[in-house]
Amino acid sequence: MPQGRQIAVSSLTKRFGPVEAVSNLSFSVEPGRVTGFLGPNGAGKTTTLRMLLGLVAPTSGTATIGGERYRDLDSPLRTVGTSLEASSFHPGRSARNHLAVYADAAGIPITRVDEVLELVGLGAHSGRRVGGYSLGMRQRLGLAFALLGDPEVLILDEPINGLDPEGIRWIRVFLRELAAEGRTVLVSSHLLSEVQQTVDEVVIIAKGRLVYQGQLSGLGGEAVVMVDAPERDRLRSALAGASLIFSESDSGFAVRHTDAIAVGALALASGVALRHLADERAALEQAFLELVQEGPQA
């Protein structure tokens, strides 16, 4: 059973000439759960992952896996699996052929190649040219490549992008199982909605800086009571009279820092008949968008 290792990013900065792609970024990723690495296009996700995998040298700061830099790991392919390199596979060669070359170089038995291709559902297509693969099949191949060394840590760049609904359901279950086995699973995406049902924790960056790390539930999704009445003016007076904080739209009132029971009791006491009353949460996606648009508080 693989034991996951902590990923630790500490004061990491990367400049490309005048562009600061990653700025003083610090976060950690724990084993045994799926962590989403989120941010809009250009936020610096790929650059961070590339530094973590020793593909780009940081300008300053450190990125370690189990306390070691990637290049200092004894057997990198058996410790860290990544889909990052699979995008550069030669279109004229087969999936099996590609993986066999890597397996051979890392001393991994060829039987493992067929095993991982089966695991990701490519068993029947392993002899086909990668150039003929759909985007979804390429994603599965990236995952097969990442799994080759049965690694403790998985770092996957946008693995859900391009999958069809069945593929999305499949990868959700698959990633969760890998984490449940004790592995560390880090999954990047520019869409919260894409990973929302897969991740336990999120690290969110914007403009190269950390804007949030923690559980999804802490992201916002603030509770609001949605309430409406045929006689809006009377309801508005009742809400204002009770010093409640609310906003008004075409669909009625959104009242904060209270609950539906209290608002219902207020309406009853004020003799206002209601058309609608419900506890809701401000959409998570909205909270995410506001967070990345506002950017880090420098």
Binding site for ligand ATP (CB under 6 A): 16, 19, 21, 39, 41-47, 190
Cβ closest to ligand ATP, residue 43 vs residue 113: 43
> Is the separation of the CB atoms in 187 and 178 below 8 Å?
no
- Looking up tokens 């610090």 gives 26
Least Å distance between CB 143 and ligand ATP? 18
Q: Could you tell me the smallest distance in angstroms from the CB atom of residue 43 to ligand ATP?
A: 4
Residue (39 or 252) nearer to ligand ATP, CB = 39
Q: Which is nearer to ligand ATP, 16 or 127 (CB)?
A: 16
> What does the alpha-carbon distance between residue 25 and residue 209 come to, in Å, rounded to a whole number?
6
Q: Which of 167, 169, 117 is nearest to 142 (CA)?
A: 117
Which of 101/289 has CB closer to ligand ATP? 289
Q: Which is nearer to ligand ATP, 32 or 40 (CB)?
A: 40
What tokens were used for 194? 């894409």
The answer to whether residues 116 and 102 touch, using CB atoms and an 8 Å cutoff, is no
Nearer to ligand ATP by Cβ, of 39 and 167: the residue is 39
Residue 231: φ, ψ to 5° = -100, 85
Nearest to 173 by CA among 203, 142, 197: 197
Q: Least CB distance from residue 154 to ligand ATP, whole Å? A: 18
What does the alpha-carbon distance between residue 6 and residue 180 come to, in Å, rounded to a whole number?
15
Q: Which residues pair with 245 in a beta bridge?
A: 256
CB of 12 to ligand ATP, least distance (A): 12
Report, in Å, the least distance between residue 185 CB and ligand ATP: 18
Least Å distance, CB 207 to ligand ATP, is: 9
Which DSSP category does 83 fall into? S
What's the DSSP call for residue 84?
A: G
Taken in order 259, 264, 267, 270, the sign of the CA dihedral is negative
> Are the beta carbons of 61 and 209 closer than 8 angstroms?
no
